[in-house]
Chains A and B, each alone.
Chain A
């Protein structure tokens, strides 16, 4: 009797010694994960979208041939392995077997061929996905699980582009069945399946119970949560309030003003990372006065005190930007900090005077009797508006009158493409230095993102060389030259690179941040 009693007591004592975390470590399936999106997707067709939110959602709905692990290394996903020919022109992929689309049809080489050919077809009018596949000449399905992709010329960003969520493989049958409606009911192979989309309200994805092909950084098998609910909430203040009320499981973009307050509550798990892209820069339209003058553009680079802009607009939650690439993107040249102009009001004044701008009687700069006045186009983004007003106040001390004009984002983009602006505020997020092609190659004037309307043979040649160079060391050297050249030509005044903050409710466990700036949800469970 006594011995039996001792055994029970020991067992009870032992059980209290096992930490609670271990007892609850077993992920529990079920529950839903709710987060908010500021903008509504234009479409959920990965090949027809131009919005960032669709790119994010496709991470959950689809899989790509290649992906990156949590350290940023390229790892197999829908492709088990791949080989590249010596000349860099032939890429052969061995596909994973046993993968099924959400509609039950099998994933195979024909689906890969269909996906890439559709993205490249002119009638798809793909804003981003088409460019990812760039110089693909042909896609061949050799048997069921082997794909051979031939390129017109070597294309060094290709492997990285294949990891982009917009390069996900889509179900050929679903596209044929749904036609134009595919963007309202997309079908992929990802851990979550599309369920419903109520415009201006919410989008719901449900768990894919057949998911057995997770990338190596996640657990094998279907995700734990039953549903993902994406609520469309344009107001960031409303998102913060909903998160604090517990209506949102995750706050994807904590506004800079709320970061310290939410951190101080010590209730939430925080993830933060440096944006993969320059958060804000002033870009000049070099075809318009007064920014056709290089001296004026350079003067602006010396005139603006970026640290002050960062401190007021972002409350210091970021880094000052010096060049067109952030340190968070491969290809960033470390020497940029010393190479780029630093805040130097004297040098700014000297350059402006050299360009013929003299203080007039009004106290403002004048040239040929005309005052230095220009309009800066911005989008209605809070941190942009704050930054614009700080820059405006700084430029005023030099006698420069800057007016701010706000446009809704879509309108702004079309005005920039048409070249109606003198200067604008812009920011970008991208995973590779091939952003240079999209932003600075002259073929992207008018239709792409070349808003400076800068047409320059030397820059074009450098960018083309960077895309063809397969040797990483030589490629890095070309990227360094491009960064130097863009700074020399002063096409931008780079301002800041923001830290992104993601806040997660205490009952949401297992969230992992991916180096490409999203939350991997495969292992997430609700406690």
Chain B
């Protein structure tokens, strides 16, 4: 996002970030996890799937910084590998509602009438369910797997995006430049894509940034419940779920994946909050 901004604004971004060291730290944490995800194999000392006989449930040591799990796998390597899976979850669970919810909201808001009523009624019904419940219901139909969990989490977030997109579309639709484009004889498609879409994007991006944290948490929750990632996938939620049986014997098995989830979700929320403030014209100095 920041990369696309002109130089003058980029400076202002940095300036404002410097006033908020917590946000800067959050961005740094996210950056670190992205690097780990991309270059994971370079950092992980072991293969995350290989069982090391004779090294079952070893406490953290120089050899195994985060200890080993119940099958003798290196927890450090698995947590690093897990960041790659989390990035995938983040991308998929945000793209689905961004595209689907965005389209529904855009179309409903622009055309109005019966189409609006029907589309938004469906969204309202979906909104009536807590997101995790909706995701579990979708998973029950699709069957448990990591891919299905990502789809379920993505679909369950659609109504929130649709409502935001519709609301913004309604306000943008009545802007002078849209009226002007209409007066000049522009077609619906052209108005939707050229004039409205670019203007409803910022609030959706803020929603997405804040939503990634929640999506990751729900995906981890689903894996924790055994509905998401299947063994031996080192998804953090799944690791946490497997570790809970050994809490009294091997604290490190649950602590490190749990810490990873906490750090990433917390950082995403801090960044999302900041981004919302930053993009809010009323708060702009």
A positions within 8 Å CB-CB of B: 235-237, 240-241, 255, 257-258, 261, 308, 312, 380, 382, 385-386, 388-390, 392-393, 403-408
Contacts and interface: CB of A to CB of B under 8 A. Distances in A.
B71 interface: yes
A385 B242 contact: yes
B249 A257 contact: yes
A226 to B, nearest CB: 31
Contact of A312 (B72, B144, B230, B242): B72
B249 A389 contact: no
Nearest to A240: B248
Main secondary structure of the interface of B (DSSP, over half): loop
Nearest to A407: B144
Contacts of A257: 70, 245-246, 249
Interface size class of B (residues with CB under 8 A): 20 to 34
B244 interface: yes
Interface of B: 49-51, 53, 56, 70-72, 143-145, 226, 230-232, 242, 244-249
B226 A382 contact: no
Given A236-B245, A258-B249, A389 B232 contact: yes
Contacts, number: 59
Contact of A392 (B53, B143, B232): B232
A39 to B, nearest CB: 15
Contact of A308 (B49, B50, B53, B232): B53
A299 B70 CA distance: 28
Given A261-B249, A382-B245, 20 more contacts: A235-B245, A237-B244, A237-B245, A237-B247, A237-B248, A257-B70, A257-B246, A312-B53, A312-B70, A312-B71, A386-B71, A389-B51, A389-B71, A405-B143, A405-B144, A406-B144, A406-B226, A406-B230, A406-B231, A408-B226
A236 B245 CA distance: 7
A509 to B, nearest CB: 27
A-B pairs with the 9 shortest C-beta distances? A380-B226, A382-B245, A389-B232, A404-B231, A393-B51, A404-B230, A406-B226, A237-B245, A389-B231
B71 A390 contact: yes
Contacts of B56: 312
Given A386-B70, A406-B226, A235 B51 contact: no
A261 B230 CA distance: 29
B51 A390 contact: yes
A258 B248 CA distance: 9
Contacts of A261: 248-249
Contacts of A255: 245
Contacts of A241: 248
Contacts of A240: 248
Contacts of A382: 242, 245
Contacts of B248: 237, 240-241, 258, 261
Contacts of B232: 389, 392, 404
B203 to A, nearest CB: 39
Contacts of A385: 231, 242
Contacts of B144: 405-407
In this complex, which of A236, A385, A404, A405 has the most chain B Cβ atoms within 10 angstroms of its Cβ?
A385
A235 B49 CA distance: 26
Nearest to A415: B143
B118 to A, nearest CB: 34
A312 B56 CA distance: 8
B231 A388 contact: yes
Nearest to B145: A405
Contacts of B72: 312
A503 to B, nearest CB: 14
21 contacts: A236-B245, A237-B244, A237-B246, A237-B247, A240-B248, A241-B248, A255-B245, A257-B249, A258-B249, A261-B248, A312-B53, A382-B245, A386-B71, A390-B51, A390-B71, A403-B230, A404-B231, A405-B143, A406-B144, A406-B231, A408-B226
